[in-house]
Structure 1
Amino acid sequence: MHKPNQFDLMGQKRFLPLFLTQFTGAFNDNLFKNAFLVLIAFHGLSTAGLNSAVLINMAAGIFILPFFLFSTLAGQLAEKYDKALLARWIKGLEIIIMLLAGFGFIWHNAVLLMGCLFLMGVHSAFFGPLKYSVLPQYLKSNEILGGNGLIEMGTFVAILLGQIAGTLIIQQQPYGEIYIIIACLGFAIIGYFCSRAMPAAPPTAPNLKIGWNVFAETAKILSHTRKNKTVFNSLLGISWFWFFGSIYLTQFPHFAKETLHGDASVYTLLMTLFSLGVAIGSLLCEKLSDATVELGLVPFGSIGLSVFAIDLFFASQSLAPASYTAYTFLTGLSSWRIIIDILLIGVFGGFFIVPLYALIQIRTEHEFTSRAIAANNILNSLFMVVAAAMSIVLLEAGVSVSQLLLLAGILNIFVAIYIYTLIPEFLMRFMVWILTHTLYRIKKTGVENIPEHGAVVLTCNHVSFMDAMILAGAIRRPVRFVMDHRIYNLPIMNFICRTANAIPIAPTKESAQMKDSAFTQIAQALADGEIVAIFPEGRITSNGKINRFMPGIEQIIKTTPVPVIPMALQGLWGSFFSRKDGAAMLKMPRGIFSKIGLVVGKPIAPESVTRLNLEQETHVLRGDWQ
């Protein structure tokens, strides 16, 4: 039986045309740009007496400039108009730009080609907010992460192929310019027809008044985004990745030549490894997080970036001295540590960036998503400019290329600590993800019974000290757990519980005030449309059987009538965190990746809820598997 996965989207009209439109656009950007740069670097193209080094740096700046100038306008237009229609306008503009570029290639006119490069930057600046903000309109909530992974994979593969193709085609002299014109114009036309197949994506803010003042609108959008700390810091996280990544991508030619003693083919190999790594990491995100937007992957990604960036420095220092081609580099044993480091830097970069894009899409108001992505593009560009300036200053000061890459890896540690201090949710989710994915293999049944929106109470049997974390890792929506105050205050658990806004509770005889406060918080959470999860037994089982349910669940539903969904955990009795054979966590642990189960029942209407029928339903759901 086929198990649904993200690749199913490639057969869906609601996704495939968008993917192909984005892919051809990213490919064409790099096809044109690299062909232009090769003409400057190797075929003497120049203007106004400027040397090739100056022109190449000017080209980089001119391509980025439109992101500063037009991202805010692009974000507003993507909110005000149908995004599919807007995509067609943008791809039509690409065809016109490529026609102009054709004359630039024929006439060897650097000024005209530089102008076309600026216009391609405009094209990308306008398409960027659209491609990410349209995903929540095209995809279901459980497809968002997989869709983002495919888009990121496609983008990096397109960039890589475009760079390689642009370099190879333009060098097919004396007809290189003709071939590159045909290729650029051809892919622009293909992209246009792909955009025409995109389904309608109605405007999310049709009455929005367009603000034409770039600086005022940029400040306004950034100010609005800052109100949502999680979203704003996710934008900073993505921008930091582009800061980090741009240092590596920019320095790869010098790294390949000066540190690795390789030729141009070694540089191409490094680019291929990095791009494929990001593509692989982007695709793995859905598998590792079970199609949910798993924030725990973000710290995992940042740890990997630093570990392998630092290891790359030491691996490159121990490389056997020789003059390398891509073939000799691949066949040399001392090279493989470097190859693995660069590939894994890309993989962990994918783990880092894909959940952040998905988080922005699901945590931002739907009528503001395009503008949030526009703000992201502005910040990305700013961080890339700062990265370039920092690199120039450090290299001029005598820092080697390998030392610069090492510094980027070390800086990543401090940036990660700063971000996770600002948003403990990332670190909390990382701890939950690590614990639940290393200790258990969870078979989930009926999770689709939990609604995507609205208030609901979840009930579950209580088998071990890990129960809440297993449920938190398995349920897509944030859950407010009602926790025994003693478990709530355990080391590590206290950090996770506080960060997840768990609600501590105590029996009346221990603290009537804490109990009353807990019920007040539960009622407020349900009134706010949140999910509240409780363990109605009131304590962890000491014999593997389901204890009698306490009357607290009936009091909760009487105060705030909402549906109740019974659940049952299976296979945890006898685990290290259960009380089988004595106190929990004082016996030899079972092997890692133990198989356990979570069964979710159908919602029960509030008027039908009693503690007895919930207890009976939990027995049925759990079955004989303790």
Structure 2
Amino acid sequence: MFALTGVLNYLIVVFLNAFTDLGHKIIIQNTIFKVYDSSEQIILTAIINAMILLPFILVFSPSGFLADRFAKHTIMKHSAAFAVVITLFITFSYYQGWFLFAFLMTFLLALQSAIYSPAKYGYIKELVGEKFITQGNGAVQAVTIVAILGGIIFYSAFFESMVADNFHTNEDILKEIAPLGWFLVFGSIIEWFLASKLPNKMLKLSYKKFDFKKYIKGDYLLKNLKITKRKPEIFEAILALSILWSISQVILAIFGEYAKSQLGVTNALVVQGVMALAGFGIVLGSVVVSIYSKYFINLGYIVLGAFGITIVVFIVPYTASMAINAFLFLLFGVFTAFIIVPLNAQIQYLAPSVHLGTILAGNNFIQNIFMFTFLSITTIFAYFGMDSEVLFYIMGFVGIYLIYLVYKRYSYMAVWAIFTFLFCIRYKVEYKGLENIPKNQAVLLLGNHVSWLDWLILQMPIKKRINFMMDKDIYNYKILTPVLKKGNVIPISSKSFKDSMIEASNRLKNSEIVALYPEGEISIDNNLSKFKSGYEKLDGGDDCLIVPYFIDGMFGSLFAKNKNNQHDSMLKRRVISVEFEKPILNNIKADELQKIIQKLKDKKD
């Protein structure tokens, strides 16, 4: 992916945009942290966060229109130029000690980001294509969080070193840290320069026109929300992201006051540093999800992430140590990445190109409506003196609802994600010939059988679920039956042979993938046993193709019948290779098929 033209340049632009936006926010937040206490601190922190969210709500329709109407790299270039002007005004306000003006300029800087955002995220799909869409989103999330992490540490460190203890007013603090404003300006200038060098990836010109009267009347809002809700899976993904970010916003808004009042921590750098570890966790989580989404968007991690963040939120109020809180925020970030990377990739993948900008703007709109509402509620609770600890528990219960929401749709994928993760701890699988498996056609997978985990090895790189045929005696184990039934396994035995063949044939006629093992049992000597001809009875229709495969490297492993007296090193992963041969017609005889797979085996030997 990084070899594609413009990718590295784009990621640097993304980094600088986040680094600059965050810099001003950190300066204002740290000023509030130094001057105010208790509920007043929570309220002002919530207001500053709300000012960042509000523009995404107000410019939902215009930002979506711009991202669909014009080339996305052009929107990014002009937005960066606008940021240069804004940061110059912000820097001037620092030198004058105008806290209220600097406070309000946060809104204008966020407005620039709101216009910029749909184009920035829509550009991912155009730049890297569907093949690298998950890796592209993972890279953007990782780079953004590195920018946030770096910005928090950079601006907080300079802030603490420049502000002496005898400064007690907003105006004095801003005048003291005023030189920091030039970092914001220089970052915006470099971002504008690099954005102007991004390649144009707009394949088809759009001739949409924007009617300001319809915007004021709310006609665009209703129309664009209908577009956003058109595909239930897209809307549910947006809803899940909205709940996640709402929880995150509240946690970040209240943790500073919680650390100060409950843990006695008054150093802004320490507090910001602990929260910044959530960003580092997002980087780690993004890398993990990208690795395990090498072949398709792995949606199973969404459920794992929802469980993880909910548990963390419930634990934080019981923790009196900043060191343990730091670890919890790190985990919170990892689990957050498990949700945001696959869901953002899924939204971009499912959204039609003609409405991509509108849907991404709708994503921003709904997310920010949620976050704004949650922050407003937080402000009200703080105003009436509610303890920050109680807010943690409330967010924990919101997390439980998030679990329910994602579990309904992605529970099946979560099981596969767990299996895949556990398997890859001990084994590294290399695939060859995956392009030989048609995506929208009936496929019969036939190959060797060397271990109890061959089914998992075959399924891992294939997004479409495989219908495995399994011995009925194993299928009927009480513990396994519910799981195997949910996994679309087809039981087979000598008595039910005909019915099993009919069921498998029907699934093939529905363009599904069916897999069985012609040897009929797991190999005990790593040689191919005589292939049985049962599969020849399958009738998958004229379009059905057979894809032969060979698995190498599992013989002698822990999950093989014959362990071959080998003991795998706990520190070294066993390398497995799987090769898929080119598709052949489904009328091939068993002995001919065995010769093809024997050739694949001989190549490995």
TM-score scaled by structure 1? Answer: 0.79
Question: Deviation of residue 338 (structure 1)?
Answer: 3.1
The code of the aligned residue for 1:295 comes to L
1:560 is the counterpart of 2:543: yes
Write the distance in 2 (CA, Å) between the matches of 1:112 and 1:150. Answer: 35
Distance 1:608 1:537, change over 3 A: closer
State the partner residue of 2:303.
Answer: 299
The superposition leaves residues 192-239 of structure 1 with CA deviations (integer Å, 9 ceiling, x where unpaired) of 111122221215672556575374444444444445343332222222
State the partner residue of 1:323.
Answer: none
Write the distance in 1 (CA, Å) between the matches of 2:200 and 2:29. Answer: 37
Distance 1:623 1:599, change over 3 A: farther
The superposition leaves residues 464-499 of structure 1 with CA deviations (integer Å, 9 ceiling, x where unpaired) of 5533233222x1432332434836676676666665
The code of the aligned residue for 1:202 comes to M
Once the two structures are superposed, the pairs formed by residues 199-598 of structure 1 within 5 Å of their partners are 199-202=199-202, 206-207=206-207, 210=210, 212-213=214-215, 215-264=218-267, 265-290=269-294, 292-316=296-320, 319=321, 336-392=323-379, 400-437=387-424, 440-450=426-436, 453-455=439-441, 457=443, 458-473=445-460, 475-484=461-470, 486=472, 502=488, 504=490, 506=492, 510=496, 512=498, 515-525=501-511, 532-535=513-516, 537=518, 539-541=520-522, 543=524, 545-550=528-533, 552=535, 556=539, 559-560=542-543, 562=545, 564-572=546-554, 595=574, 597-598=576-577
State the partner residue of 2:120.
Answer: 131
State the partner residue of 2:71.
Answer: 82
Whether the 8 Å contact between 1:599 and 1:621 is mirrored in structure 2 is no
Write the distance in 1 (CA, Å) between the matches of 2:192 and 2:450. Answer: 57
Higher mean Cα deviation, 538-547 or 23-32? 538-547
State the partner residue of 1:325.
Answer: none
Question: Deviation of residue 251 (structure 1)?
Answer: 1.6
Question: Deviation of residue 274 (structure 1)?
Answer: 2.1
Write the distance in 2 (CA, Å) between the matches of 1:188 and 1:118. Answer: 17
State the partner residue of 2:50.
Answer: 61
The code of the aligned residue for 1:560 comes to D
Whether the 8 Å contact between 1:301 and 1:349 is mirrored in structure 2 is yes
Which of 6, 17, 38 lines up with 1:25 in the alignment?
A: 17
Higher mean Cα deviation, 100-109 or 292-301? 100-109
Write the distance in 1 (CA, Å) between the matches of 2:174 and 2:392. Answer: 39
Write the distance in 1 (CA, Å) between the matches of 2:126 and 2:401. Answer: 36
Distance 1:152 1:204, change over 3 A: farther
Distance 1:132 1:613, change over 3 A: farther
Distance 1:213 1:517, change over 3 A: farther
- Calculate percent identity across the aligned residue pairs: 20
Higher mean Cα deviation, 475-484 or 511-520? 511-520
Distance 1:442 1:568, change over 3 A: farther
Whether the 8 Å contact between 2:446 and 2:516 is mirrored in structure 1 is yes
The code of the aligned residue for 1:371 comes to T
Whether the 8 Å contact between 1:230 and 1:423 is mirrored in structure 2 is no
The code of the aligned residue for 1:525 comes to S
The DSSP-based 3-state class of the residue aligned with 2:87 is helix
The code of the aligned residue for 1:449 comes to E
Question: Deviation of residue 27 (structure 1)?
Answer: 1.2
- Long gaps (5+) in structure 1: 1-7, 45-50, 320-334, 527-531, 582-588
Distance 1:547 1:237, change over 3 A: farther
State the partner residue of 2:595.
Answer: 616
The DSSP-based 3-state class of the residue aligned with 2:496 is helix
The DSSP-based 3-state class of the residue aligned with 1:293 is coil
Write the distance in 2 (CA, Å) between the matches of 1:198 and 1:495. Answer: 52
Whether the 8 Å contact between 1:27 and 1:158 is mirrored in structure 2 is yes
The code of the aligned residue for 1:26 comes to A
TM-score scaled by structure 2? Answer: 0.82
Write the distance in 2 (CA, Å) between the matches of 1:205 and 1:455. Answer: 33
Whether the 8 Å contact between 1:18 and 1:198 is mirrored in structure 2 is yes
The superposition leaves residues 45-75 of structure 1 with CA deviations (integer Å, 9 ceiling, x where unpaired) of xxxxxx9876654433222111112133323
Higher relative contact order (CA 8 A, sep 6+): 2
Write the distance in 2 (CA, Å) between the matches of 1:490 and 1:15. Answer: 51
Write the distance in 1 (CA, Å) between the matches of 2:504 and 2:586. Answer: 22
Which of 59, 64, 78 lines up with 1:70 in the alignment?
A: 59
Question: Deviation of residue 174 (structure 1)?
Answer: 8.4
1:96 is the counterpart of 2:85: yes
Write the distance in 1 (CA, Å) between the matches of 2:420 and 2:384. Answer: 42
The code of the aligned residue for 1:256 comes to A
- Long gaps (5+) in structure 2: 164-172
Whether the 8 Å contact between 2:70 and 2:206 is mirrored in structure 1 is yes
Question: Deviation of residue 304 (structure 1)?
Answer: 2.8
The DSSP-based 3-state class of the residue aligned with 2:574 is strand
Question: Deviation of residue 24 (structure 1)?
Answer: 1.0
The superposition leaves residues 9-53 of structure 1 with CA deviations (integer Å, 9 ceiling, x where unpaired) of 2x6542112111111111111222333455667689xxxxxx987
Question: Deviation of residue 434 (structure 1)?
Answer: 4.5
The DSSP-based 3-state class of the residue aligned with 2:511 is helix
Question: Deviation of residue 543 (structure 1)?
Answer: 4.8
Write the distance in 1 (CA, Å) between the matches of 2:507 and 2:87. Answer: 60
Whether the 8 Å contact between 1:78 and 1:203 is mirrored in structure 2 is no
Distance 1:263 1:92, change over 3 A: same
Write the distance in 1 (CA, Å) between the matches of 2:42 and 2:403. Answer: 34
Which of 570, 578, 589 lines up with 1:599 in the alignment?
A: 578
The code of the aligned residue for 2:543 comes to T
The code of the aligned residue for 1:522 comes to L
The code of the aligned residue for 2:504 comes to A
Whether the 8 Å contact between 1:464 and 1:579 is mirrored in structure 2 is yes
CA RMSD of aligned residues (A): 3.9
State the partner residue of 2:196.
Answer: 196
Question: Deviation of residue 571 (structure 1)?
Answer: 4.6
Question: Deviation of residue 396 (structure 1)?
Answer: 6.0
The code of the aligned residue for 2:304 comes to F
The code of the aligned residue for 1:185 comes to V
Write the distance in 1 (CA, Å) between the matches of 2:366 and 2:190. Answer: 31
Whether the 8 Å contact between 1:218 and 1:375 is mirrored in structure 2 is no
Higher mean Cα deviation, 253-262 or 455-464? 455-464
Higher mean Cα deviation, 610-619 or 273-282? 610-619
Whether the 8 Å contact between 1:32 and 1:180 is mirrored in structure 2 is no
The superposition leaves residues 378-403 of structure 1 with CA deviations (integer Å, 9 ceiling, x where unpaired) of 22212222332443455567653344
- Tell me the number of residue pairs that the alignment of Structure 1 and Structure 2 aligns: 579
The DSSP-based 3-state class of the residue aligned with 1:525 is coil
